[in-house]
Amino acid sequence: MQPSEGFWEGVGASVGSSPGWMVIGALLVVGVLFVVAKYVYPGHKEIKMRELDIRQREAENDRDRIKANAALAENMRGLRESNDQLAKQSAALSAGIEESKTRSRSMGEEMTHTRESVDHIRDTTDDTCAMVREIHSVVVVPHRAEGTD
């Protein structure tokens, strides 16, 4: 938007007819506005941009932290499940070991009974063998001595 042709002439006429203090005041106001527009406002805008950038980085850090916590929670859940599985396997192995101990004790008792049975059979066999020898010596050997085979 361009000012009209008479605008600058009107500004010049009004400045010329104004008292000096008004001109100086107007120049001061324009100067202050210029300084604010040139130096203060951009600095303020830069500060706001920095604050916005910091907030964005904090939000991104929060998102990353949330993701990391979620991943950690997932890992912890996996570890709990692994520990539960290991506990179940350990309980099953312990039960198997106890069952094996019981079977071993039972087999040991059976072996004791078997040894006793084997010893009894051996004694009986030895006794039978001794009796057969005795019968043989009484019945067969005297007949050989007589020569009547």
Q: Give pLDDT tens digits for 38-84.
A: 877 777 778 788 899 999 999 999 999 999 999 999 999 999 999 99
Q: Is the pLDDT of residue 149 over 60?
A: no
**SS3 (DSSP) at 98:** helix
Taking residues 132-147, report their average pLDDT. 76
Q: How confident is the model at residue 143 (pLDDT cuts 50, 70, 90)?
A: low
- Distance (Å, whole) CA 110 – CA 117: 10
Residue 91 has pLDDT above 80, yes or no: yes
pLDDT attached to residue 147: 57
CB-based contact 15:23 (threshold 8 Å)? yes
| 143 close to 149: Cβ distance less than 8 angstroms | yes
**pLDDT grade, residue 141 (50/70/90)?**
low
Kindly tell me if the per-residue pLDDT of 23 is higher than 80. no
pLDDT attached to residue 128: 93
